[in-house]
Structures are given as structure tokens and as C-alpha cells.
Structure 1
Amino acid sequence: MRSWIIILPNLSANAMAIFPFIILKNKAQKQDLVLINHEQIHLQQQLELLVLPFYLLYLLNYLINLVRYKNHYLAYFNISFEKEAYHFEKDLNYLSIRKWYSWIKFLR
């Protein structure tokens, strides 16, 4: 999948994916293949959910986790979309074998 990279130095996160863009804090991050792979996993998740439902489910999963864990970081890292992306970010071949809706396996 082709994605466009945008550099935003004032980005509050390290990086983010907003279909079809990957937004990075600095140009050097373009060389970080693990980071790019992580964000491309998110782009695939967004694509399979037709983008807008991805954001709604992402937010809902975060809010449920926030109530459950009462901690921003635990809530974030337990979002099913993030769990899949972190789990497979170092596998640079993952997107070529990934089945659609694989993030569902990370729900609990």
C-alpha cells in the first residue's frame, strides 16, 4: 500500500497514521522501518474499516480501557489496534501475510 509521509515538528505524538498519510515528527524517522511498519499496519486497519469506523472504534476502545485501567498509558497500549501494531511492528513482512480484521484477535 502506498502512503504519503508528512513531517510535522510540533506533532504531540511520536508518529500517527491518518489515512492515507503517515505523520512524523522529523525527517529522520522516515528511515525507521519499524516505526513506518507500525504506522502502515494502522493504515491497513483504517482501510479495512473504511476509515471513519476505525476512529470511532479506536476511541471507544480507548475510553473503555481508560475506565478499566484508570491510566492513559495502559488504556492506550491496550487498544486492540495498538496491540496488533506493536506486536508485529518488527515483522517487516507482516503486511504481506496479514489477514483482514486481525486486530480482533487482540480484543479482550
Structure 2
Amino acid sequence: MKNWKPWFVENSKIPVWLSYFAPIDIGAITLGPVVISRYEMSEQTKRHETIHFQQYLELFFVGFIVLYVGFWIWNLIRGLKPNDAYYKIPFELEAYGNDQNENYLKERKRYAWTYYTLY
């Protein structure tokens, strides 16, 4: 699965539309095997979204979405503001913490996001 890559769709209006329903402004979003971005993506953004793609592969689409929303709600219950709750989701902690590392996707262990559930 490490060699699997998502399809990248750039310069799309879909993230703009989804931002109306989200607690943050969406620049790019991974939906299963497709990464949709409102802009042309940097290599860092592609790595970030590819990390999410690997998480999707580990949990399947429904499992990822359920856990993602569940972690966000849990963070809200803990008293975090919506934007802060987003940045404390374990999937985002892994992606933001490693999207600058060009070797991370080659070195990443399966279910690496579970390490970030301790935060």
C-alpha cells in the first residue's frame, strides 16, 4: 500500500463549496482515492494529503470518516474551539507533523496515526 498514490484534482471549486459546511476553510480534501484542491498543490500539500490517503486505506472510507468526525467532536467536548479541535485530530497531527519530511511516506508504519491519539 505504500506505493499506492491518490489521484490529484487541482483548481476545483469543490473545496470552496465544502467549506460552507466545515468548521475550517478547506484548501484540499482527500475523499477516498481522490485529492481535490482549490489550488495547484505544492509537494508538501501532496504529501499531507497522501498521508490521509494512507489513513483511508488502513481504515476504509467509512471507518476514517467516523473516526475523523468522532475525534473532532471529542475535542470539542474537551473544550477546544472548532479550529483548534481540527488541528488536534490524530489524523491531522500525523499529516501536519510529517508533511515536510520527503521520506515519511516511504518510512511510515501502518496505523502510524494511532501514536497521535496520545495528544
Aligned-pair distance for 1:88? 0.2
Query: Does the C-alpha gap of structure 1 residues 10 and 3 become closer, same or farther in structure 2, counting only changes over 3 Å?
Result: closer
Aligned-pair distance for 1:70? 3.6
Aligned-pair distance for 1:92? 1.7
1:2 matched to which residue of 2? 5
1:19 matched to 2:32? The reply is: yes
Contact 2:87 2:93 in 1 (8 A): yes
Aligned-pair distance for 1:56? 0.4
Name segments (4+ residues, structure 1) moved above 6 Å: none
Identical aligned residues as a percent: 33
Contact 2:14 2:36 in 1 (8 A): no
1:80 matched to which residue of 2? 90
1:104 matched to which residue of 2? 114
Q: Distance in 1 between matches of 2:53 and 2:79?
A: 27
Aligned-pair distance for 1:6? 1.9
Show structure 2 runs of 5+ residues with no match.
Answer: 20-25
Contact 2:30 2:52 in 1 (8 A): yes
TM-score (norm 2): 0.83
* Cα RMSD after superposing both structures: 1.2
Q: Distance in 2 between matches of 1:99 and 1:36?
A: 19
Aligned-pair distance for 1:93? 1.2
TM-score (norm 1): 0.91
Q: Distance in 2 between matches of 1:84 and 1:40?
A: 11
1:52 matched to 2:86? The reply is: no
1:94 matched to 2:107? The reply is: no
2:23 matched to which residue of 1? none
Number of residue pairs matched? Answer: 105
Show structure 1 runs of 5+ residues with no match.
Answer: none
